[in-house]
Structure 1
Amino acid sequence: MTQPLADHARTGTERVGAITFDRRLSGLSGIAIRGFLLSLVTFGIYRFWYVTELRRYFWSRTIVDGSPGEYTGRGKELFLGFLVAIAILIPIYVAIFIATISVPWLAPFGSILSFLILFVLGQFAIYRGRRYRASRTLWRGIRLGQDGSAITYAAMAIGWSLLTLATLGLAFPFMRASLERYRIDHTLIGSSRMASSARGRSLLLPWLMFYVVVLLPIAAAFIAFLVASDFTIPDDLFVPKEGGKPGETQFNSDYNGTPIATFGAILMGTLGFTLPLGLLLIPFYRARETRIFVNAASLGPVRLSSTLKARQFYWPYIVYLLSIIGFVLLLGLVIGGGALLLHAGGTQSGAHWAIVLGMIVGYLGGALFFAVLYVRVITARLWAAVATTTTIENAGGLDAVLASSRRVGSGLNEGLADALDVGGALEVGF
């Protein structure tokens, strides 16, 4: 804790500050439409400016203790950083390819080697990308920052990932908490340093729900199937389908009515039931994790307090899913109607090309619609949910935060994350 914050804490000033977000979202649809169309005609190049515009929008409409945030990044920085990152990655890809064809015993492990190298680079890039975003964020004229080592962060991620694999996923919440502590403990607001007290045990119970709902039923059904088959799966359980395509198989009817068929059907039914339930648990876990991480963050005497509920994460996804279902049904009706017109009008009437053109326009229109919908429904609502359910305890301590003359990092910090597709345009929470 820095001395100015400590002195301010001793004054006894206790004030609760609010974090608000403008839910009207005026102008957001225009940004999304412009970003989608210009990215389309520039073959994705404009997306760097689109991301920058989105960040400026969300930063400026997030009011922390009466003062809005400010994003000073530029699309040009992201674009040039991306180009430099590509120039770095191409030799790495070429080296991996040459190694796999030059060393025969290495060839079967080429994909694994590529994954490991890109995973390490990805974790390195995630940390560096966050450093860039922090250095381009201002609040009350005070610049945020992030120190620490991206190499250390990547090494931590590798070690925790290996432990997570060794424990069949049980170490995952402890990994998330450890990486969160490192990120927050190296986050700077002016000359003051943040801290996090996040612990994996706080996340263990919501994480174990995945085991109870998904893994344990699947494991029990699989063991029952193995017992029914005497721990030996018959080679002829699936046979080539008569009249089918090459490689197409079907269940061997000779096993109908046997315990293998019965418990095999139970196993497939369990998979079909529990996997969707597992997907439904993801927003619940994300909401719980976000709330725990927010409550663990502090800046000297200043602490954050979140009342985020899981339902606030579920609703945006439900609306988005219903929109997808409605669009698919509508598209099906349009295609079906077009097929009828084509059959009735014949190819000489020009109906064929009209239908093809209509399908292209419909596809692009649908892509544009969902691009706008995603930003407004998913991104904006999740952002608003996290912001508006968070309050600032001992907010008077923020008045003692001093600016810093810290050097601003380059756009290459996030360029590598974008090149590896591990950097999000907006990150909800910390």
Structure 2
Amino acid sequence: MAMQHGPGRPVPVVFTGTRRELGGLLLRGYGLLVPSIGLYRFWLLTWRRRFYWGNTEIDGDSLEYTGNAMQLLVGFVMALAVFLPLYGLLFYLSTQSSEAAIIGYSGIGAALWFMMGYAIYRARDFRLSRTLWRGIRFDQTGNGWAYAARRFGWSLLMIATAGLIYPFMAANLWRYRHVHSWFGDLRFSFTGSWKQLAGPFYLTYAAALIIGGIGLVTGVEMGALPEGGNANPLGYIPLAIAALLIALLALRYQARELSAMYSSVRLGNAHVTVKVSARALIWQYVLCGLALIGAFLLLAIGGLVVLGIVASEAFAGGGFDLDIFFHQMQGSVIVLAAIILGYLLILAAFTLMRELFVSLGYWRLIATGAIVTGAESLSGVAARPEDRALAGEGLADALNVEAY
């Protein structure tokens, strides 16, 4: 397709998807999860990605996701071969002494954290290899185990420095991921540096320490953590306010990091400039919280209706018989069904609202905040074949690594 813009002219990124469209897709998927014993989630994940990819347009052409559900299912089954022996080891450790169990659980925890790094890189490799723009496929090289070792080493330094090393870690991992990414036969580059993150991060770090310290001291003085006796509920208010302010600071920093790091990505003579608004990012979480409150209120009303139906016989004699009520609660099939259904609905409501407001909001902010310059230079990029050696995402799904 011929380019419509002159050399170096900025090209906007447009996201055309709507929350209603995604909500309908998710509700249909959730409805099929129970009868399929959860297996439909691989198909739901595939359709969800096609929604995000297909509604993201760069210079009038949308991305294309070519992965399918069977690839994800096969990858998950292969990952089970790793985790079934691990679950057996966990059961064995539970029968041992407390000292052996603690050492064993710690070792398994460290191994899982290491494997999570591999899973993140491997999942990104799969997604890129199934992503096309204008018929040209993306890809990722590099080594997943090398990335896992790098991430694990940085994590140890994070613990040793109480998080102060974070700007160096973040820039290093961003660089590794992007310098091993490809668009056709053209390799990405990365110009970002820890220096872009250090100022915002350390200011946020210092502010969080000050706010957290003030909140803790104020809460203790108001009786939130008494040495003996009952705590004063009002003492938790300063702690809650401090936690909220720290969360807002963290989101503000996240917006700065996303803007700086994505804007450091280069592809030949093309580069992207991304501006993520902290206010807009925070607003997505506010909307999610309000939506969750509304959903849980509706579920609570439904629960009261069920409770009223069960308790109706307890009022049969003109008064309220507590013994009859508890007997009905213990032996009622309606109550049991309501508990199971309520649990599933609460889980579905949380997942649905998080996807509709946080995940969709995050994707939309990145997409609509991006401007691509020099896109016309990509017209000569040659295509490369799909990496068919990748059988799904494997450990990423088993470890519940968050990814679109």
Give the TM-score band, short-chain normalised.
Answer: 0.7 to 0.9
Map of 2:71 onto structure 1:
77
Kept after mapping to 2: 8 A contact 1:32/1:371: no
Aligned counterpart in structure 2 of residue 238 of structure 1, from 228, 232, 235: 228
Q: How does 1:207-286 map to 2 (within 5 A)?
A: 207-219=201-213, 237-238=227-228, 250=230, 270-286=238-254
Deviates more, 1:380-389 or 1:205-214: 205-214
1:275 and 1:27, CA in 2 relative to 1: closer, same or farther beyond 3 A? closer
Map of 2:268 onto structure 1:
300
Aligned counterpart in structure 1 of residue 398 of structure 2, from 419, 424, 427: 419
Distance of 1:104 and 1:331 partners within structure 2: 41
Q: Deviations over 1:328-347 (max 9, x none)?
A: 34444554565566555427
Is 1:111 equivalent to 2:105 in the alignment?
yes
Distance of 1:146 and 1:88 partners within structure 2: 24
1:355 and 1:385, CA in 2 relative to 1: closer, same or farther beyond 3 A? same
1:56 and 1:337, CA in 2 relative to 1: closer, same or farther beyond 3 A? closer
Kept after mapping to 2: 8 A contact 1:69/1:137: yes
Distance of 2:351 and 2:132 partners within structure 1: 28
Deviates more, 1:388-397 or 1:211-220: 211-220
1:98 CA displacement: 5.3
Aligned counterpart in structure 2 of residue 322 of structure 1, from 284, 290, 305: 290
Amino acid at match of 1:301: N
SS at match of 1:194: strand
1:393 CA displacement: 1.0
Aligned counterpart in structure 1 of residue 373 of structure 2, from 370, 373, 393: 393
Distance of 1:315 and 1:218 partners within structure 2: 23
Distance of 1:90 and 1:211 partners within structure 2: 40
Is 1:44 equivalent to 2:12 in the alignment?
no
1:271 and 1:78, CA in 2 relative to 1: closer, same or farther beyond 3 A? same
Aligned counterpart in structure 2 of residue 137 of structure 1, from 131, 135, 147: 131
Kept after mapping to 1: 8 A contact 2:128/2:140: yes
Distance of 2:37 and 2:253 partners within structure 1: 36
Distance of 1:187 and 1:99 partners within structure 2: 41
1:221 and 1:31, CA in 2 relative to 1: closer, same or farther beyond 3 A? closer
Distance of 1:331 and 1:91 partners within structure 2: 39
1:398 CA displacement: 1.7
Map of 2:172 onto structure 1:
178
Map of 1:230 onto structure 2:
none
1:161 CA displacement: 1.0
Larger RCO (alpha carbons 8 Å, 6+ apart): 1
Map of 1:229 onto structure 2:
none
Amino acid at match of 1:146: Q
Distance of 2:343 and 2:110 partners within structure 1: 37
Q: How does 1:142-161 map to 2 (within 5 A)?
A: 142-161=136-155
Map of 2:23 onto structure 1:
29
Corresponding residue pairs, total: 384
1:343 and 1:417, CA in 2 relative to 1: closer, same or farther beyond 3 A? closer
1:361 CA displacement: 5.4
Q: Which runs of 5+ in 1 are unaligned?
A: 1-11, 227-235, 240-249, 252-260
What is the percentage of aligned positions where both structures have the same residue?
32
1:379 CA displacement: 2.3
Map of 1:122 onto structure 2:
116
Q: Which runs of 5+ in 2 are unaligned?
A: 1-5, 221-225, 318-324
Distance of 2:243 and 2:18 partners within structure 1: 36
Kept after mapping to 2: 8 A contact 1:135/1:409: no
TM-score computed with the length of structure 2 as normaliser: 0.83
Distance of 2:84 and 2:145 partners within structure 1: 21
1:395 CA displacement: 1.7
Distance of 2:313 and 2:402 partners within structure 1: 50
1:123 CA displacement: 0.6
Distance of 1:375 and 1:108 partners within structure 2: 36
Q: Deviations over 1:277-300 (max 9, x none)?
A: 222333323222211111010101
1:423 and 1:272, CA in 2 relative to 1: closer, same or farther beyond 3 A? closer
Kept after mapping to 1: 8 A contact 2:200/2:253: yes
Amino acid at match of 1:297: V
Kept after mapping to 2: 8 A contact 1:132/1:409: no
Kept after mapping to 2: 8 A contact 1:187/1:193: yes
Is 1:380 equivalent to 2:360 in the alignment?
yes
Kept after mapping to 1: 8 A contact 2:188/2:267: yes
Is 1:55 equivalent to 2:55 in the alignment?
no
Aligned counterpart in structure 2 of residue 310 of structure 1, from 266, 270, 278: 278
Distance of 1:26 and 1:340 partners within structure 2: 33
Q: What value does the CA root-mean-square deviation take over the aligned residues?
A: 3.5
1:99 and 1:370, CA in 2 relative to 1: closer, same or farther beyond 3 A? closer
Distance of 1:198 and 1:101 partners within structure 2: 50
Amino acid at match of 2:355: V
Amino acid at match of 2:77: L
1:98 and 1:370, CA in 2 relative to 1: closer, same or farther beyond 3 A? closer
Q: Deviations over 1:38-58 (max 9, x none)?
A: 122222211111101111121
1:339 and 1:175, CA in 2 relative to 1: closer, same or farther beyond 3 A? same
1:328 and 1:158, CA in 2 relative to 1: closer, same or farther beyond 3 A? same
Q: Deviations over 1:372-416 (max 9, x none)?
A: 44333332232111111101111211212221246333225x111
